[in-house]
Structure 1
Amino acid sequence: MSGVLGLDVQYSHTVPALRETGAAVPLRDGHRALIPNAVLPGGAWGSPAAEEVLGLGPATPERLFAWRRDPWSPEFLRGLRDRSARYLGLSADPPAHGYRTVVCAGPDTPDDAERRCEEAGLGTAARVTPTDALLCRRLAEPQPLPRGGTVLAVVCAERWTALGSYRLVQEDGRTTAVRSGPPVLRPEGAGAWTELLAGAVLARSGEGTPARDLLALLDGALECASRLDLAASVPWQGPLAERLSPPLVVWRDELARSPAVLETVDAVRRHAVAAAPDLVLLGGSGAVWPFPHTALGAVAPVWRSSDPALDLAAGAAWWPALRDRFGPAPAFRPAPAPLPRPGSGSAGAERLGSGTAGARTRARGTAHHDSGSHDVAPDAPRPDRPGPGSGPGPGRTPSDRPDPDPVLSAEDIPPWQR
Structure 2
Amino acid sequence: MRIVLGVGGGIAAYKVASLLRLFTEAGHHVTVIPTEAATRFVGTATWEALSGNPVSNSVFDDVHQVNHVRLGHEADLVVIAPATADLLAKAATGQAGDLLTNTLLMAHGPVLFAPAMHTEMWQHAATRANVETLRSRGVAVLEPAIGRLTGSDSGPGRLPEPEVIFDAAMALVEGQSDYQLPLAGRTVTISAGGTREPLDPVRFLGNRSSGKQGVALAVAARNAGATVRLIAAHMEVLPPPGVDVIKVETALQLREAALAAAADSDVVIMSAAVADFRPAEVSSTKIKKRDDTADPVITLVRNPDILHELVERRNSSGSAEGEQLIVGFAAETGDSHGDVLAYAEAKLQRKGCDLLVVNHVGADKVFGQDTNSVVILARSGSEPQEASGTKTQVSAAIISRIGFELNHVSPRT
TM-score with structure 1 length normalisation? 0.24
* Larger proportion of strand: 2
Higher relative contact order (CA 8 A, sep 6+): 1
**Larger Rg: 1 or 2?**
2
